[in-house]
Chain A
């Protein structure tokens, strides 16, 4: 864990201050490491094999509506359970409550966090769906990315300033431990089963969509509230 080295170095050599609640933090770090290990182990034995089998299965089946439905469900399902997203939306909701953007009650905070999470999950689902259409049609990836950038820039002009930071961050947050391997499996599986698609150039790009659309949708969510 190079993170621990960096934190320890700065704490001891630069700040020269003892860490308060050291025991608490050490236990917490141990929990993080243990939890992440179990989590990844569980993913490898359970989720990934079946996810990959299904991604290949759907890619071969050739029924477009079901493929799109599966792509949406995969994006939605993996994002809803993403640990980093859960952590960040909770923090965002707390900050929003402290900044009196929403009511400072337990219920309002939980609602806001869940709303954010669902918004992000829906947008990732749509992104994966769009990405699958792109692979089937063989559009170059950068046209869609540029369209997405244009969308982000336009939305930034209209969205309330409080949501912009959260929205921009949610793009990077969504695509980590669970989403990336499953989505990459879908992309590569699909592009290798379609004639004339190169898995290495067409198979990539799904993750990029998945980190672009949440920005647009979260800003939309901020405008609605």
Chain B
């Protein structure tokens, strides 16, 4: 208990050091550049106190729960007894088909965390306004969530199969570029942003631990070479799915308009 408290104190001190740059930046700019007094100073200080305590608790819990869970799941889902194959026989990688539960788990985690992501809901509402209603709020959220879950599932497949990460990412970039040419212009910036928005604070450590655990348990994979990359997948695929969704809904909207207004030219 005392050791735990001491450890927590260490984390707290480290957190204060981590948050300090923001405090310095904000006060420095506000006082010396904008030359304005800080509004609601007590409230601001209380807010910072909460930020520091909350961050310290979060990091402590992360080490205790999220990382172990991610690794544990990866370990158990790849255990040879669970897979029903004898992977201990050779050092070469087993067939990728044995790991189907891993892909399913990855897809489920990706979908579940994304659909509930608060910042995504905010982005979806804005996207609805940009497009004048053609991009639905629910539709966009589902599009992003599908993008993330496909991304993470494909990422786990990549770890199992051991293909270098950059082949996938570069191919993904090419698809994104092609889509950029044809997608409605108003959605492009938003689609790019949605890639970064989806990977939230809870998802990232869990998914990172899953990847590392997977890479250290599948025979013939190294955590350093193969363990990372899931987050990259999770932030690339929503870009595609959002643009695809915008194209689909625009096309669908046009078709309805054309049907209702007879032979009107676009």
Task: List chain A positions with a Cβ less than 8 A from chain B.
Answer: 1-3, 5-7, 9-11, 14-15, 17, 19-21, 24-47, 49-51, 53-54, 57-58, 61, 66, 70, 73-74, 76-78, 80-81, 83-84, 86-88, 91-92, 95-96, 98-99, 101, 141-142, 145-146, 149, 152-153, 156, 161-162, 164-166, 168-169, 171-178, 180-181, 200-202, 204-208, 210-211, 215
CA gap between A88 and B232 in the complex, in Å? 13
Task: Decide yes or no: A81 and B19 within 8 Å by CB, A47-B47, A169-B229, A169-B232 being known contacts.
Answer: yes
Is the Cβ of A141 less than 8 Å from the Cβ of B76? no
Q: Which residue from B51, B56, B129, B192 sits with its C-beta under 8 Å from A46?
A: B51
A32 engages B65 (CB within 8 Å): yes
Contacts of B180 in A (CB 8 A): 142, 145-146
Check A77/B169 contact, CB under 8 A, given A172-B231, A175-B199.
Answer: no
B248 at the interface (CB under 8 A from A): no
> Does more than half of chain A's interface fall in helix, strand or loop, or is it mixed?
helix
Main secondary structure of the interface of B (DSSP, over half): helix
Instruction: Give every chain B residue within 8 A of A207 (Cβ-Cβ).
Output: 192-193, 196-197
Per-residue 0/1 for B228-254: is the Cβ within 8 Å of any A Cβ (1 yes, 0 no)? 111110110000000000000000000
| Interface pair B202/A36, CB less than 8 Å apart | yes
Report the bound CA distance from A96 to B228 in whole Å: 11
Number of interface residues of B (CB under 8 A): 102
Q: Tell me the chain B residues, 1-56 only, with Cβ under 8 Å from chain A.
A: 18-19, 21-22, 24-26, 29-30, 33-34, 36, 38-40, 43-56
Partner pick for B197 among A27, A35, A36, A175, CB 8 A cutoff:
A175
Residues of B in contact with A (beta carbons under 8 Å apart): 18-19, 21-22, 24-26, 29-30, 33-34, 36, 38-40, 43-69, 72-73, 76-77, 82, 101, 105, 108-109, 112-113, 115-116, 119, 126, 129-130, 164-166, 169-170, 173, 176-177, 180, 185-186, 188-190, 192-193, 195-197, 199-206, 208-209, 212, 222-232, 234-235
